[in-house]
Amino acid sequence: MALKKIAVVTGSRAEYGLLYWVLHDLHEAADIELQLIVTGMHLAPEFGMTVVEIERDGFPIARRVEMLLSSDTPGALRSRWRLA
């Protein structure tokens, strides 16, 4: 039987806290493959790099999507130029 893939996007500590037990149950389910997409404030040093907390909680991260305008990584800079 093929696994069901469920993607969840999280961008801030506030909603991650609300999603924690849902993510936990999805991750533990034998018939589901959780694909966690981390973005926004989780990837920003000025907001505490909470992506580390997510990893410490044991959740595999499928993708990291940078989108804060204050970021100076190559991915964020490309996004900034597309917005201009």
Tens of pLDDT, residue by residue over 31-67, are: 999 999 999 999 988 888 999 999 999 999 999 998 8
Tally of domains within the chain? 1
| Better-scored residue on pLDDT, 44 or 16 | 16
Of residues 22, 17, 25, the one with CA closest to residue 53:
17
Q: How confident is the model at residue 77 (pLDDT cuts 50, 70, 90)?
A: low
| Domain that residue 75 falls in | 4-83
CA dihedral 65, 67, 73, 74 (to 10 degrees): 80
Q: 10 Å Cβ neighbour count for 32? A: 14
pTM of the model: 0.78
Q: What percent of the chain has pLDDT over 70?
A: 79
Read off the amino acid at residue 34. L
